[in-house]
């Protein structure tokens, strides 16, 4: 992963390289996709380091909107739509093209399109996130949850959960209403938990500094109450996920769908364990150096 990031010029300085090393994105891939084949696991690890770096440098840890914002985000969409890079490519574009071409080769066509659609929505919904941060106050919780559902980057990740386990789920099962509820609950659990875990660093970011906790504070709750409210919502989503997963797996479903649901469980547990045991992405001692990437 680090060698690949070097080859694609993603590690802009030694300081940035050290940040990536201590963030340990490879362990996130290993925890969330424990049954993936070596080649798929490698491309997922490369994708994760690319995603976190570009998300930080395009949206979260830079100015809310810059002269390059639209060019950067549309370039990511063009790679998905056209399967070529622009001339000249923007930062990370050639790395992104490499990830997509490897995934196209490894995945069935529809499975890749599920991944691609998740990424298109990440890039386009980033505009809604930017608009929210240009307002004097944030939108409400419902609107925020809609935005977060797509800017969190979970939809592309969960779209790989079947291929990384027992193979691609057929469309008739993947788009089943209950299966999609499981996908959304997985998304909510990870993203809303992240809003608590990343709070201390996010409030220092120049680009993305509003999340569920800060919106509850804006609505009049104390910071402690806002954290507890968000945690309660996460726990409700976990309970709802477990109940629905048991109901779905009690039906006569394919082995591939069983594997997909297992993959969603791996993501929930894997992400939470990564935060607790592995990564220093949200560590207090690095807030001052890591929250603001405008110097890069």
Q: Indicate the pLDDT class of residue 242, thresholds 50, 70 and 90.
A: very high
Its pTM surpasses 0.85: yes
Average pLDDT, the chain: 93
The pLDDT assigned to 98 comes to: 98
DSSP 224-240: HHHHHHHHHHHHHHHHH
Handedness of CA 27, 281, 295, 210 (dihedral sign): positive
Per-residue pLDDT tens over the stretch 113-160: 999 999 999 999 999 998 998 889 999 999 999 999 999 999 999 999
User: Is residue 197 predicted with pLDDT exceeding 70?
Assistant: yes
Four-CA torsion 9, 13, 16, 22, nearest 10 degrees: 90
For the cut 80, the answer to whether the pLDDT of residue 295 exceeds it is no
pLDDT category of residue 34 using cuts at 50, 70 and 90: very high
Domains and CATH numbers, the chain: 2-290 (1.10.600.10)
- What is residue 12's predicted lDDT score, i.e. its pLDDT? 81
Sign of CA dihedral 227, 284, 291, 80: negative
Task: Report pLDDT for 19.
Answer: 87
pLDDT of 101: 98
- Rounded to the nearest 10 degrees, the angle between the axes of helix 255-273 and helix 177-197 is 10
pLDDT at 282: 86
What confidence category does residue 56 fall into, taking pLDDT thresholds of 50, 70 and 90?
confident
User: Which residues touch 101 (CB under 8 Å, ≥6 apart)?
Assistant: 83
């Amino acid at each position: 992963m680090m060698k690949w990031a070097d080859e694609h010029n993603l590690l802009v300085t030694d300081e940035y390289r050290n940040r990536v090393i201590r963030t340990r994105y490879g362990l996130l891939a290993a925890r969330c996709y424990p049954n993936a084949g070596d080649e798929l696991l490698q491309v997922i690890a490369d994708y994760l380091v690319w995603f976190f770096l570009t998300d930080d440098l395009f949206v979260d840890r830079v100015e809310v909107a810059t002269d390059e914002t639209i060019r950067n985000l549309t370039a990511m969409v063009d790679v998905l739509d056209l399967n070529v890079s622009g001339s000249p490519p923007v930062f990370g574009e050639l790395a992104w093209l490499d990830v997509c071409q490897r995934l196209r080769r490894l995945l069935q066509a529809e499975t890749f399109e599920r991944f691609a659609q998740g990424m298109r929505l990440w890039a386009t919904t980033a505009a809604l996130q930017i608009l929210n941060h240009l307002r004097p106050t944030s939108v409400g919780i419902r609107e925020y949850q809609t935005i977060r559902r797509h800017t969190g980057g979970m939809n592309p990740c969960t779209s790989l959960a079947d291929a990384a386990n027992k193979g691609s789920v057929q469309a008739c099962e993947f788009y089943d209403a209950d299966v999609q509820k499981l996908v959304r609950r997985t998304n909510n659990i990870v993203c809303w938990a992240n809003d608590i875990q990343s709070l201390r660093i996010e409030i220092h970011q120049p680009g993305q500094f509003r999340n569920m906790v800060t919106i509850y504070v804006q609505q009049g709750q104390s910071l402690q109450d806002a954290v507890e409210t968000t945690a309660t919502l996460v726990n409700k989503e976990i309970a709802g996920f477990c109940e629905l997963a048991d109901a779905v797996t009690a039906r006569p479903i394919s082995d591939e769908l069983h594997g997909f649901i297992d993959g969603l469980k791996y993501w929930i547990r894997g992400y939470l364990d990564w935060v607790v045991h592995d990564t220093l992405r949200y560590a207090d001692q690095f807030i001052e150096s890591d929250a603001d990437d405008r110097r890069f």
